[in-house]
Amino acid sequence: MKELTYYGHACFLLKTGQASILFDPYLKDNPFKVASAEEVTPDYILISHGHFDHTGDAFAIAKRTGATIISTAEIAHMASEAGCKAHAMHLGGKHDFPFGYVRITLAFHGAGVPGGHACGFVVNVSGITLYFAGDTALFGDMALIGKLEKLDYALLPIGDNFTMGPEDAVVAAEMLQARHVIPMHYNTWPLIAQDPQKFKRAVERKCPTTVHVLQPGETLPLRA
């Protein structure tokens, strides 16, 4: 079993036979309301930055389940102080976990915590390499990420205003060269309303990439 469930906004649950990994668990106050913070049982929680719509319910979930929070040093320190298990990393770092490895990537966005940095993640688990871009602007070193890692899946924000918009995300898809792209961080509020089908058509015209537009609550089977 290898699958990715989209909970809306930038929250995903990656499940394989080796681990269950929750990204940016904004659930309780998520306008899509497709899952509750009480029903998810991850082994690991990855937090890209400290804004409310990304830290969300992470600490409460971690304390209830015993999940390990993986994030930048500043957020990991906050998690530890809150009584959670945490593993601190930082930009450019890579670490082997029981399920595979995590690489912390750049993300050009506000940190949401004093002295911190926003980040993205490359996760390698069960033969699948997935890039979670986090909240970010388009930046040229996405091409380097695509060179360093042979990406199977890339999760890219398209909402604009707070992150890159659809046009920039098309360029990101070209640079990353992932086999599959999934848009995120859009249509949560009117300010970031976008047409994901238009984005899908634009990417697939330019890249040998399949775009999967997931509805909140939908699960996508993953293939290495």
Instruction: Kindly report, residue by residue over 141-165, the tens digit of the pLDDT.
Output: 999 999 999 999 999 999 999 999 9
pLDDT tens figures, 44-62: 999 999 999 999 999 999 9
Per residue in 65-93, pLDDT (tens digit) is: 999 999 999 999 999 999 999 999 999 99
- Residue 224, pLDDT > 90, answer no
**Domains of the chain, first to last:** 3-221 (3.60.15.10)
Strands 219-221 and 210-211: unpaired
Q: How many CB atoms lie within 10 A of CB 1?
A: 8
Calculate Rg over the CA atoms of the chain: 16
Q: Model confidence at 15, in pLDDT bands (50, 70, 90)?
A: very high
**Close Cβ partners of 216 (under 8 Å, ≥ 6 residues apart):** 6, 7, 8, 32, 34
21-33 pLDDT tens trace: 999 999 999 999 9
Mean pLDDT over 178-203 rounds to 98
Task: Give the separation between CA 103 and CA 80, rounded to whole angstroms.
Answer: 21
- What's the mean pLDDT in 213-224? 95
Cα 200 to Cα 63: distance, rounded to the nearest angstrom: 38
Q: Which two tokens stand for residue 166?
A: 């659809």
Pairwise CA distance, residues 183 & 199, whole Å:
8
